Amino acid sequence: MFHGTTILCVRRDGKVAIASDGQVSLEKTVMKNTAKKVRKLGEGQVLAGFAGSTADAFTLFERFEGKLKEHQKNMARACVELGKDWRTDRFLRRLEALLIVADREKTFILSGAGDVIEPDYGIAAVGSGGPYAFAAARALMAHTQMSARDVAHQSLTIAGEIDIYTNSHISLEEL
């Protein structure tokens, strides 16, 4: 399990939001409170967030953008091709990170084991606070009419109150 982060993606009513906390921990020490772990890729058409090593995540973001270009912005195909490379490439398979990527239509979680998962419920979460954020988002989606952006923000706030590796400095991107 990756410590030091929570990434959550929520889709509702034609909108998708991806959010992260800002905490980076090294063992038992908080090293940074304001890290930005979410960003827009693919000329602003894809949202992405990472849990794990920052250097590894940037390498994966670059590779993913390359796959998006190679496959004419077909995100599902780019995910599968990155997943295959990540699993089989001698250099890439050593990278320790999880990615969540989303466009206006689909969301995927990618791992170094070659997993390309399209989650249920319009919600994806990874990182040490992921289960808390996921549970909060499920409850908010079922019992409120909050927007995707508001569900993501409130769910991360809740996760930050429970998980010691997640803080309340939230970065959020939306399509």
For 77-100, write each residue's pLDDT tens digit. 999 988 887 777 776 666 677 889
Instruction: Say which CATH number the domain at 143 has.
Output: 3.60.20.10
Query: Any binding-site annotation on 83?
Result: no
Tell me, yes or no, whether 130 lies in a domain: no
- Name the residue type at position 67: K
**Catalytic-labelled residue, pool 5, 29, 88, 157:** 5
Residue 146 pLDDT grade (very low, low, confident, very high; cuts 50, 70, 90) = very high
* Residues whose CB is less than 8 angstroms from the CB of residue 103 and which lie 6 or more positions away in sequence, other chains included: 16, 42, 45, 46, 47, 75, 175
Tell me, yes or no, whether 131 lies in a domain: no
Tell me, yes or no, whether 32 lies in a domain: yes
Tell me, yes or no, whether 70 lies in a domain: yes
Closest CA to 12 of 107, 101, 76, 98: 107
Q: Which domain holds residue 7?
A: 2-123+137-174
Tell me, yes or no, whether 75 lies in a domain: yes
Query: Any binding-site annotation on 160?
Result: yes
Tell me, yes or no, whether 151 lies in a domain: yes
Q: Provide the domain count of the chain.
A: 1
Residue 1 pLDDT grade (very low, low, confident, very high; cuts 50, 70, 90) = very low
Q: Cα 118 vs. chain centroid, distance in angstroms?
A: 12
Higher pLDDT pick, 26 / 108: 108
**What is the average per-residue pLDDT within 51-58?**
79
Alpha-carbon dihedral sign for residues 43, 174, 59, 81:
negative
DSSP-derived 3-state class of residue 103: coil
In the annotation, is 157 catalytic? no
Residue 141, pLDDT > 50, answer yes
For the chain, the average pLDDT equals: 89
pLDDT at 136: 98
Query: Any binding-site annotation on 163?
Result: yes
Global confidence as pTM: 0.90
d(CA 155, CA 124): 12
